[in-house]
Structure 1
């Protein structure tokens, strides 16, 4: 059966990588974005790519944007990545929850038409909150978010899962940890570190003692696609590399790779709150056959490309 993918947040960091992965895998892809975004010209025209623009509060109207020929006798996989607002912007986070539920309403509408439908929602490590890093973190860990963002993601997970179960929609949830690489926005720690070191500038950081897990966005995109194809109904999956290290190790590896003087690095106090994770990805790998293909240095190489 041919598959049609609908991707909200399609022009963002994770979403853009997912769209490209889906196109490479011969999906018909509907890239859902919002009018006025600076990234709406991110994709070159492709035979199986269709772009549509709609506000999140209207996500229950997405079926009106889809051509009948692209859903007739096809499996529809709905990837919901769209999310907005600051981490403690409570009003925006509430709107995100509402938009997520409306996205599920659209998925239900497709199922009502007789389509086989899978809904993949994308969450975050922020749902877990602060955890003891003396052991690995699996998907059964208690959710204890400390930010409005993390709380909203956790709330969306529970609400969408409940709604999907009642509507008999196949539902999968993926929790992304730390993505790097193509389309990564400015202002994030690693690309800013690389740029400053290349210019010979001093870099002032926290202690960087916390354990961190970096995953290239291309690998994350493949993981998300595979969750749509092979993820088990009602299950949650960590989306990470499993190659966690102290953040300081990553920082020093990056400096060495680009030939920067390590004396430019200055480490300070522990951050507050102290977030440190050792995520397990065994479940993702076993259920989907996914594996990491890109190295940490492959991701750093992306920062030299004009892809933002």
Structure 2
């Protein structure tokens, strides 16, 4: 399979590129011109072709790729950090740039386009979130991801009706993923680093329900969606851990503390909530399981040990 991956040096993008190459696919990895993280892609691997493009140029990828591609994974998105999640102009540009990526995929003859959506699209809920749950996003980031979903669904349906293209649109609503290579300021990375060094960390209240999914399992879920042999897998899919992983965030923190030897210390209630507020994260992933048979291989304890070993704190 020939696959295109934008945001190829991001946490998820880099892991996906690695797995696609390991499976014997040809990968066109799209990176920004002058990217400081380009070296993380290890350019000497068979099947890897790196293309430098800005996000607003993704509709012209057919000028750099001279063969048909089957799969397009779109992770390219500016302003994912907490501060930029509140900036409407930053997030609105992402919507327009992502529509250009969709057009780029059409020009390359892609069979499926998978977009990295977010749990932030749901907003604040107290109950389990299914793909049918009403979306009430709080941050500009969540609003933009939801807006792109609606415009992409409309665009691809229009192409089908006009006989222009039969490309399927997959909206992977990704919940909290952790693992080697994550942002150093993420909760899991911060806790692993602190407890490994026997230091102190100040946390928020951490009373909300949460769900974590290990990086390798997330990548496998995305590949399963893209590679299904069914007639169509278009639509929205929650990508998250199983229901038994839905726990209060404090339980996850206690698990990390114990797994890493109970070194250092922590306290609650001293940090402000993130851009989405103190939202519960209670995903329902039955639709993903029904469509692909997906089942995570790595539980949270194992995932923390794997991450700690890889990061070498």
**Common fold by TM > 0.5:** yes
Instruction: Tell me the CA shift for residue 33 of structure 1.
Output: 1.0
Determine the structure 2 residue equivalent to 1:79: 73
How many angstroms apart in 2 are the aligned matches of 1:52 and 1:270? 40
Instruction: Tell me the CA shift for residue 295 of structure 1.
Output: 2.4
2:168–2:234 contact (8 Å) kept in structure 1: yes
Determine the structure 1 residue equivalent to 2:130: 138
1:61/1:105 CA distance change after superposition, 3 Å: same
Report Cα offsets for 1:96-129 as digits up to 9, x if no partner.
0011100111122123xxxx52111110000000
Q: Counterparts of 1:50-199 in structure 2 under 5 Å?
A: 50-68=49-67, 71=68, 76-85=70-79, 86-111=84-109, 117-133=111-127, 136-168=128-160, 169-199=167-197
Determine the structure 2 residue equivalent to 1:245: 247
Structure 1 residues without counterparts, runs of 5 or longer:
none
How many angstroms apart in 2 are the aligned matches of 1:233 and 1:253? 36
TM-score (norm. length: structure 2) = 0.89
Report Cα offsets for 1:256-304 as digits up to 9, x if no partner.
0010247x12122796522002101111111112210122233323244
How many angstroms apart in 2 are the aligned matches of 1:235 and 1:27? 24
2:203–2:271 contact (8 Å) kept in structure 1: no
1:270/1:92 CA distance change after superposition, 3 Å: closer
How many angstroms apart in 1 are the aligned matches of 2:196 and 2:107? 51
Q: CA RMSD in A?
A: 1.9
Report Cα offsets for 1:118-146 as digits up to 9, x if no partner.
1111100000000113xx21111111111
Instruction: Tell me the CA shift for residue 237 of structure 1.
Output: 0.3
Instruction: Tell me the CA shift for residue 34 of structure 1.
Output: 0.5
| SS, match of residue 41 in structure 1 | helix
Q: 1:289 aligns with which of 282, 293, 297?
A: 293
Q: 2:257 aligns with which of 240, 255, 258?
A: 255
Matched, 1:200 2:192: no
Report Cα offsets for 1:158-183 as digits up to 9, x if no partner.
11111111112211110011010021
Determine the structure 1 residue equivalent to 2:268: 267
How many angstroms apart in 2 are the aligned matches of 1:202 and 1:122? 34
Structure 2 residues without counterparts, runs of 5 or longer:
161-166
Instruction: Tell me the CA shift for residue 67 of structure 1.
Output: 3.2
| SS, match of residue 16 in structure 1 | helix
How many angstroms apart in 1 are the aligned matches of 2:270 and 2:124? 17
Give the aligned length. 294
Determine the structure 1 residue equivalent to 2:218: 220
2:202–2:270 contact (8 Å) kept in structure 1: no
Instruction: Tell me the CA shift for residue 21 of structure 1.
Output: 1.6
TM-score (norm. length: structure 1) = 0.90
How many angstroms apart in 2 are the aligned matches of 1:132 and 1:246? 12
Report Cα offsets for 1:16-65 as digits up to 9, x if no partner.
11111211222111111112222111122221111111000101011112
Instruction: Tell me the CA shift for residue 220 of structure 1.
Output: 0.8
1:108–1:167 contact (8 Å) kept in structure 2: no
